[in-house]
Structure 1
Amino acid sequence: MNRRHTAPMPTELRHFMRAGQHPSRSVACPHCGAHEHKPCRVPSSGRTLAATHPARRTTWAETTACCPHCQVDPGTPCHTDGIPLPDVHARRYLEAEEMAA
């Protein structure tokens, strides 16, 4: 038997090779608990969703992009006058989308 041994694909390339999936699937979903690269699901029924939860998109934008509005680094929540926001600024979403493209 001849077995092919291939090197694992680097994570940076894997994200770009997953056609048709939103880049926010690269982080775990805080709403439904879906793991990285797995689809979101309805917690009560377990039904998988075509789109990701807004909380997952927020987490993804927060972990991958700097916010041009409040000037915070990736991983730091957006804020207004020092008070953390429950969501991120719209400009941070745009910044994350540009980085993913």
Structure 2
Amino acid sequence: MTYRPPAAPMPDSIRHRLRARQHPARAVACPHCGAHEHRPCTTPSKRRLLTEPHPQRVSAWVRETAFCPACQVEPGVPCHLDGRPLRDGDVHPQRAAEARETAA
């Protein structure tokens, strides 16, 4: 057997470029099904892997990565309307567009 030295840890910036064919929302854990970062979402029975992430995971990714032009909040802060948070952690469409542009 040949000796193979341990691999060096890969920086996140390179890891995300190598995973470019995956949806960028897979960079965060899914609040709906509990899938870990960089793992696909699953059905409630955990038997099937889904090809697309849950909408809640996409909203969590948008919330963590983009500034919201509609309500002027920073990344990591939930969107609000008249001081009240949006229902179920939703985000404004402008913020989602900003996150898609940033990921591209």
Task: Compute the TM-score of the two structures, normalised by the length of structure 1.
Answer: 0.92
- Counterparts of residues 1-101 of structure 1 (less than 5 Å): 1-86=2-87, 87-101=90-104
Q: Equivalents in 1 of 2:27, 2:46: separation in Å?
A: 23
Cα distance, 1:44 vs structure 2: 2.6
Structure 2 residue ranges without an equivalent (≥5)? none
- Post-superposition Cα deviations, 1:28-76, rounded to whole Å, max 9, x if no partner, equal 0000000000000001352110000000000000011110111000111
Q: Secondary structure at the match of 2:42?
A: coil
Structure 1 residue ranges without an equivalent (≥5)? none
Q: CA RMSD in A?
A: 1.3
Identity across aligned pairs (percent)?
Answer: 58
Large movers: runs of 4+ above 6 Å: none
Q: Equivalents in 2 of 1:33, 1:69: separation in Å?
A: 29
Name the aligned partner's letter for residue 92 of structure 1. Answer: R
Aligned residues: 101
